[in-house]
Amino acid sequence: MLLTSLVWVSCDDDEDDDNNLEGVEQDFVQLAAQSNLYEIQLSELAVDQGRDTLVRAFAQQMVDEHGTAQDELRAIANQYKLAGWPDALSANQQSVFDSLSEAEGFQFDTKFMEAQISLHQNSVGIFEKGAKSNNADVKGYANKYLNAIRMHLQMADSLNSQLPQRWEADQNSGWGDIGG
């Protein structure tokens, strides 16, 4: 009976060790969570303030997809009992958000799409590192979302390059809403 208890305690200790992430994995989870939070908040702003219908549609897609990714990442963080989940933008992110919130029309759409390009370029680097993780949960999460992030980057770049022509066409048409 004593031997069985020792084996049980020993197994229990091993499980606790397995529920800890190394520093690299902790960094990935925190960086990915911060990135998702930023993405969601910028995109919610664009859903409300964007002028171009394609910009607003892209923003809503980012809210939806990054919200799902954030929920999944939070489950991983909770599984490993990680502390320090981001609940606010960093100072630099808040500065960009504040600047964007003051913009209107074409200037807003352009600044938002430029921020999307920069944000997704940065996220690709974060997720490429996460995809090399030794932890199966972290590696699986990073690999699952890496291609989506690359696709978001391509979409943002393409839409950003279309904005000047869309804005000009809108001004020439006399319609009050680009694409609508």
Q: What is the pLDDT of residues 61-74, one digit of tens each?
A: 999 999 999 999 99
CA–CA separation, 7 and 137 (whole Å): 26
pLDDT of 24 > 70? The answer is yes
Indicate the pLDDT class of residue 60, thresholds 50, 70 and 90. Answer: very high
- 130 falls within a domain: yes
Domain that holds residue 124: 35-168
Determine the pLDDT at residue 172.
75
**Count of domains observed in the chain:** 1
Q: 141: domain CATH number?
A: 1.20.1260.10
Q: Which amino acid is at 12?
A: D
- 20 falls within a domain: no
First CA to last CA across the chain, in angstroms? 75
CA–CA separation, 56 and 140 (whole Å): 30
- 6 falls within a domain: no
Determine the pLDDT at residue 21.
82
> Quick one: which of 23, 29, 15, 5 has its CA closest to 77?
29
Mean confidence (pLDDT) of the chain: 88
- 77 falls within a domain: yes
User: How wide is the angle at C-alpha 24 spanned by C-alphas 22 and 27, nearest 5°?
Assistant: 110
- 24 falls within a domain: no
Tokens in use for 76?
């991983």
Indicate the pLDDT class of residue 177, thresholds 50, 70 and 90. Answer: low
Question: pLDDT tens-digit profile of 89-136?
Answer: 999 999 999 999 999 999 999 999 999 999 999 999 999 999 999 999
Average pLDDT over residues 6-25: 54
- 63 falls within a domain: yes
- 5 falls within a domain: no
More confident residue, 22 or 33: 33
- 29 falls within a domain: no
pLDDT of 6 > 70? The answer is no
More confident residue, 71 or 166: 71
